[in-house]
Amino acid sequence: MDQDRRNLIFLALLGAALFLLANGSLAITDPVESNYTQTAKEMLLSGDWVSPRIFGNFWYDKPAFFYWELIAAFKVFGFTDFAARFFPAVFGVIGLLLTYVFARRLYDAKTALLSGVLLATSVGYWVVSKSVITDATLFVFFNAVLVFFYLGYSSTNKKLYYASYFFAGLATLTKGPIGLLLPGLVVAVFLCVRRDFAELKHLVKPLGILIFLAVVSLWYVPMYLLHGSDFLNTFLGVHNYLRATVSEHPMWDVWWYYSVLFFLIFFPWGFVTLPPALWRMFRERRLPRLDMDEQFLLVWALVINIFFQMMATKYTTYTLPSLLPISILAARFLRDKATLVRRMFFGEVAFLVVVTLAVLVPGITAKNYSGKEVAATLNENVREGDLVLSYGDYKVSHPYYSNLDIYKVDTKKSIAANRPDGKSWNSKNVWPYWALEEIPQDRTIYMIVSKKRGGQFKKDFRPEEWTLVREFDQCRVLRKEGRKS
């Protein structure tokens, strides 16, 4: 067995061990993971694999590819936590192999192996590869666009550009237009840096455009035919344009967000690479001379981070694709520091295993980051004809795990003001509602009450009429018996 094959097997086993460890015991968390699992569950049960839906409402938040992954896993493994986390782990492993293969084409086997090791043990990549979100899948497709571009650019085999178009289509099926636009921006900036505009005649290929359109038409065309302007207005208008121009979380719209976040998502390796590299440049009072490979890797990493820093809405995982070029550049920097890397590697693997088994597995349910135990309590008590309501923070994991209809309680005025409108962040408010003024008196009611809304609950209801069923860290489950007529 040659060295490359041994290295690939090692990375695959390392990734599988880290990314699959205890996944069957990691409950689905709120608010993000549960939205994906509930949507995929409803798509599977409805038999409609085209139109994402949640609580019976069409849901235009993301394209369908990640939902298709979840549906496939649910069909094989059932509606389990392991199934939901299976494909993120699989794509996490694929991302390691992609990194190795690309780094090996640029450099030697030692650098390629180290690139994969740094990526596999970085906290951000590890988290994403265990999380029920789109980012591990996007990491592979997005970066494959740029890998095949550069392999074609740096060789005489321009047919490799067709693979870039294909993976751009898959990235667009996973996350939306950003799957084409941002890799295209990276390529454009790189060609400008190289002043190689003549390459455009090889890069812009009619057949490549047709390949891209054929891939994206698998979902976008039937969605438009089925839902028309509602789909376009909400998917493109709210979840793409509005996300870029109006911050969903204004407190994080700060200039330093991704600069600081880098040290978290690339922990621990960012601390032993970037500061020493900057100090070296300061000490030598000059910028390092970069060859073409290093230019491309640096442009790749910087464009992604600068682009998302300029966007109004910021999420911790947006810049994850930049970890591929960053890992290769870091491997080049650490290549001759074998002792340091070996000690940090074993320490980081031990750290991630301990965090998984001793923190995540018990902590997710104990701290009610998931509603799995609340759902179990409801299933033990709720009978046919009972009404289940949620007062305060609505957790999608409650209906996902319980298979019960659970309604968010609010006043008629608030419900009307927060209804989805296809042009603002209200479009995300797709929970089933029940008006506070219309709560029946003749039905047994179970109420999930957020503890932080306990004071308001006492104003809206008569606490003496409610019996405590079970208390959790962040909420209480209460019951009120229906009055006999």
Q: What is the pLDDT of residue 118?
A: 98
Query: Minimum mean pLDDT among 186-195, 240-249, 446-455: which range?
Result: 240-249
Please tell me the chain's helix, strand, coil percentages from 3-state DSSP, rounded to the nearest 5: 65, 5, 25
Query: Minimum mean pLDDT among 211-220, 281-290, 307-316, 327-336: which range?
Result: 281-290
Q: Quick check: is 430 in a domain?
A: yes
Confidence of residue 418 (pLDDT cuts 50, 70, 90): confident
Which structural domain, as residue segments, surrounds residue 287? 3-364
Residues 252 and 331 both lie in one domain: yes
Residues 357 and 406 both lie in one domain: no
Query: Minimum mean pLDDT among 245-259, 296-310, 373-387, 399-413: which range?
Result: 245-259
Reduced to 3 states, what is the DSSP secondary structure of residue 328?
Answer: helix
Share the mean pLDDT of the chain. Answer: 91
Asked if residue 243 has pLDDT above 70, the reply is: no
Number of C-beta neighbours around residue 243 at 10 A: 18
- Asked if residues 83 and 105 have their Cβ atoms less than 8 Å apart, the reply is no
Residues 384 and 442 both lie in one domain: yes
* CA dihedral (64, 69, 73, 75) positive or negative: positive
Q: What is the pLDDT of residue 427?
A: 64
Residues 314 and 461 both lie in one domain: no
Between 26 and 315, residue with greater pLDDT: 26
Asked if residue 47 has pLDDT above 80, the reply is: yes
b/e string for 38-62 if b means 16 or more Cβ within 10 A? Answer: bbbbbbbeeeeebbbbbbeebbbbb
Q: What is the pLDDT of residues 131-188, one digit of tens each?
A: 999 999 999 999 999 999 999 999 999 999 999 999 999 999 999 999 999 999 999 9
Q: What is the pLDDT of residue 421?
A: 64
Residues 383 and 360 both lie in one domain: no
Residues 350 and 383 both lie in one domain: no
Residues 141 and 249 both lie in one domain: yes
Asked if residue 314 has pLDDT above 80, the reply is: no
Residues 273 and 401 both lie in one domain: no
Residues 351 and 443 both lie in one domain: no
Residues 281 and 396 both lie in one domain: no
| Domain end marker among 334, 364, 394 | 364
Residue 452 vs residues 5, 225, 250, 256: alpha-carbon distances, Å? 54, 44, 22, 31
Residue 243 vs residues 174, 311, 410: alpha-carbon distances, Å? 16, 8, 26
Confidence of residue 248 (pLDDT cuts 50, 70, 90): low
Mean pLDDT for the stretch of residues 322-344: 95
Instruction: Give the total residue count for the chain.
Output: 485
Asked if residue 311 has pLDDT above 90, the reply is: no
CA distance 19 to 120: 9
Q: Quick check: is 485 in a domain?
A: no
Q: Quick check: is 405 in a domain?
A: yes
Q: Decide the pairing of beta strands 433-435 and 406-410.
A: parallel
Mean pLDDT for the stretch of residues 414-418: 83
Specify the pTM: 0.94
Between 112 and 314, residue with greater pLDDT: 112
Query: Minimum mean pLDDT among 63-67, 298-302, 364-368: which range?
Result: 364-368
CA distance 380 to 446: 12
Q: How many domains does the chain have?
A: 2
CA distance 152 to 164: 9
Asked if residue 213 has pLDDT above 70, the reply is: yes
| Domain end marker among 310, 344, 364 | 364
- Look up residue 416 and give its amino acid: A
Q: Quick check: is 323 in a domain?
A: yes
Asked if residue 424 has pLDDT above 70, the reply is: no
Q: What is the pLDDT of residue 252?
A: 64
Mean pLDDT for the stretch of residues 74-86: 97
Asked if residue 237 has pLDDT above 80, the reply is: no
Q: What is the pLDDT of residue 130?
A: 98
Query: Minimum mean pLDDT among 16-20, 192-196, 374-378, 456-460: which range?
Result: 456-460
Residues 299 and 339 both lie in one domain: yes
Highest mean pLDDT among 257-261, 307-311, 454-458, 468-472: 468-472
Q: What is the pLDDT of residues 270-280, one digit of tens each?
A: 999 988 888 88
| Domain end marker among 364, 382, 408 | 364
Residues 67 and 213 both lie in one domain: yes
Q: What is the pLDDT of residue 242?
A: 59
